[in-house]
Amino acid sequence: MKAAIIAGGKGTRLQHQYTVPKPLVPVAGKPVLQYQLELLSRFQITEVVLLLGHGSEQIMDFCGDGSRWGLHIEYSIEPEPLGTAGAVRYAAEHFSDDFLVMHADMAINMDLRRFIRYHRNNKAEATLAVHPAEFPSENDLLDCDGNGRITAFYPQPHRNGNWYRNLAAASVYILSPAIVQGIPEGPQDFMQDVFPALYHKHTLFAYNTVEYIREMPTPARVEQVARDMESGRFSLASYEHQQKAIFFDRDGVLNLDPGFVKHPDELLLYPFTAEAVRLANQSVYASVVVTNQSGIARNMYTEQDLRQIHNKLEWLLGQEGARLDAIYYCPHHPDLTPEGGDPQFRQVCDCRKPKPGMLLKAARAFCIDLRESWMIGDTHRDIEAAKAAGVTPVGVRTGHSLSDTDEKPDFFFDNVLDAVDFIVNNPCEELFIEIYRQYLQHRNERGDRPFIIAMGGNSGSGKSTVAASLRKKFNDIEETALTIHLDHWIKPAHLRHANENVFSRFRLDDLDEDMEALLQGEIISIPKYDMQSRAHKGHILYGLGASRIVIVEGVPALASAVCNAHAHLKIFCDVPEELYRQRFFARYIWKGLDEQIIQQLFEERKNDERPFIDPLRANADIIFTLNAENHDRFRRNS
């Protein structure tokens, strides 16, 4: 397959800073065009035609015959500005078979072999690489059916009041000669003129990809791409490497959950949703929604209605610079024998959560490494689907807030923004590196005994989150870690008395006795404490087994005589008072208490917890503040 690179634009927004044509603008030490030539060479696409106009002499001098990249380069120089499609039409004599088209001012790293295979498998006459636009209202958009065939184009300007799917061409195409022959002579633009005129008569497909395809129209964007190249993000973004994803449930996570969202007017985003998705977009994670939509099977709304709802979701996010890479939905009924409804959707499927089908489908489409991915949800179905797919489950206290299950995930946040912030910023990495260093030293000296970490601090300081993160990091490198949650030694609410302090709310004598037995190798059975009901629900077993690391986390961890005596490392999780207050209120609202009672409890905790727990920081080896800026987060106690 040949390749055409459109390199004739003037780059007016870059002219004041660069004296070279756009394709020769340096990015991380090399002209952007060189990255494309190297990409073509890597995939053995050796016949290249450069479509030139402005600055053609400089580009020809730089590229020569292409031999230094193992390429053979020919040139087509337009006599006047012809636009993207007009330049291709002018060079038609160079292409007798399907060929690849790229824009020379783009930073591109993608698996071209996979792209070409998709085009051929669909027997397409044109295939467009597509992705969501950062601001869809400022871009030409398109739509496609479930098989990827393009069904509509929406060139700018967009009509006010319409909800459009956020899907834009990424300026990388594969075209057949039939498409080229359909381009009128003279100035023509692919998205404004050609594709909207041809998709009715020709088979045009969309190739949705999360790979690295970025325009660089401004100096600021050039600098951003350079940072991505220097950090390694650019080189790892191709499907030659597995990608990471954050999977989002929809209702109760991104938007309020009224039971069923049946019409676009009923879709109301949380005020923090766009920021959460935008934060994910700025990271290495793809953003994918997986949502059960049995309202279709119940005849409450149609698939076309759902498309409009999702168009609104994407459009609203896009207005704030946030984008979803894909939305997967299951239309099937949870009950195989309901009365009424649409019989075509009453079937056993693998897509309805808690089954993992939607996550697995996304993994195939976007080359996602599920072990390196996360799922944020508010019901047991989300958590179980994540576990079934091998994805790390994360709960949030919005929507159903996991009230439909007694099994809470290791990671549990107030909302989706807090969850995404934790995932993408990886705040425990520096702490883990220090702990791992001490663990290796311990293993060299006393390899037969587990490494014990005692982690204490006030309630709401992030102990359970930090402990879960450390456990995951150890398990990821195949070092088995066990977490002991000291909340299970809290007295049930009905056994507490007025004027208790934090220590009397815990069964500290039982804790020391149980921990001593556990560390001597016994399996212990203790009452399981449910945070929401503040009562015991069944029992939980703890045993060391093959664990090489034991993390004991809880408010009194640094007050327990046994924990202090056996711990090889002691960590105090700190929390600023205002953040402590925010988390306290969020936690008790989740438990169902009204704000007046919560305020009363908060004042009590200020008097009966912090004065007792704060002094324990003196016992710690490390002080860790989960939500601090990087330079203040981790410090050794002096």
| Separation between Cα atoms, residue 251 and residue 388, nearest integer Å | 21
Q: Average pLDDT over the chain, rounded to whole? A: 93
| Separation between Cα atoms, residue 628 and residue 240, nearest integer Å | 36
Q: Which helix (H) or strand (E) holds 536?
A: strand 535-542
Q: How many residues in total does the chain contain? A: 638
Q: Are strands 622-625 and 634-636 parallel, antiparallel or unpaired?
A: antiparallel
* pLDDT computed for residue 603 by the predictor: 87
pLDDT tens-digit profile of 291-341?
999 999 999 999 999 999 999 999 999 999 999 999 999 999 988 776 767
pLDDT level of residue 435 (50, 70, 90 thresholds): very high
State yes or no: pLDDT of 359 exceeds 60. yes
**AA letter at 433:** I
The mean pLDDT of 132-158, rounded to a whole number, is 94
State yes or no: pLDDT of 195 exceeds 50. yes
* pLDDT computed for residue 404 by the predictor: 84
* Cβ pair 389, 359 in contact under 8 A: yes
The yes/no answer on whether domain 429-636 falls in CATH 1.10.3470.10 is: no
Is 206 strand, coil or helix? strand
| Separation between Cα atoms, residue 458 and residue 462, nearest integer Å | 9
Least confident of 128-132, 406-410, 432-436, 486-490: 406-410
pLDDT level of residue 17 (50, 70, 90 thresholds): low
State yes or no: pLDDT of 631 exceeds 50. no
The yes/no answer on whether domain 242-425 falls in CATH 1.20.140.160 is: no
* pLDDT computed for residue 73 by the predictor: 98
For 104, 283, 586, the CA distances from 208, given in Å and listed in that order, are 21, 19, 38
| Separation between Cα atoms, residue 71 and residue 2, nearest integer Å | 11
Identical fold for domains 242-425 and 429-636, yes or no, is yes
Is 334 strand, coil or helix? coil
Percent of the chain with pLDDT over 70: 97
Give CA 204 to chain center in angstroms. Answer: 29
Q: Are strands 326-330 and 212-215 parallel, antiparallel or unpaired?
A: unpaired
Burial of residue 638 (CB within 10 Å: 0-12, 13-18, 19+) is exposed
Apex 581 CA angle, 580 and 587, nearest 5: 90
Pick the CATH number of 2-224 from 3.60.21.10, 3.90.550.10, 3.40.50.300, 1.10.3720.10: 3.90.550.10
User: What letter would DSSP give residue 139?
Assistant: S
State yes or no: pLDDT of 177 exceeds 70. yes
pLDDT tens-digit profile of 236-288?
999 999 999 999 999 999 999 999 999 999 999 999 999 999 999 999 999 99
For 543, 612, 629, the CA distances from 520, given in Å and listed in that order, are 10, 29, 40
Burial of residue 417 (CB within 10 Å: 0-12, 13-18, 19+) is buried
From edge to edge, which strands make up the β-sheet containing 326-330? 326-330, 285-292, 244-248, 374-377, 392-396, 411-413
State yes or no: pLDDT of 12 exceeds 70. no
State yes or no: pLDDT of 635 exceeds 90. no
The structure tokens listed for 502 are: 């934090």
The structure tokens listed for 469 are: 């993160």
| Separation between Cα atoms, residue 247 and residue 176, nearest integer Å | 36
Burial of residue 304 (CB within 10 Å: 0-12, 13-18, 19+) is exposed
State yes or no: pLDDT of 446 exceeds 90. no
Could you give phi then psi for residue 523, rounded to 5 degrees?
-95, 125
* Cβ pair 52, 77 in contact under 8 A: yes
Kindly list the domain boundaries of the chain, sorted by start residue.
Answer: 2-224, 242-425, 429-636
Please name which of 403, 439, 408, 401 lies closest in space to residue 586, comparing C-alpha atoms: 401
pLDDT level of residue 629 (50, 70, 90 thresholds): low
Which residues are paired to 413 by β-bridges? 396
* Cβ pair 459, 608 in contact under 8 A: no
pLDDT tens-digit profile of 576-627?
888 888 888 888 887 788 999 999 888 888 888 889 999 999 999 999 998 7
* pLDDT computed for residue 638 by the predictor: 60
pLDDT level of residue 632 (50, 70, 90 thresholds): low
Burial of residue 245 (CB within 10 Å: 0-12, 13-18, 19+) is buried
Q: What angle separates helix 303-319 from helix 273-281, to the nearest 10 degrees?
A: 80
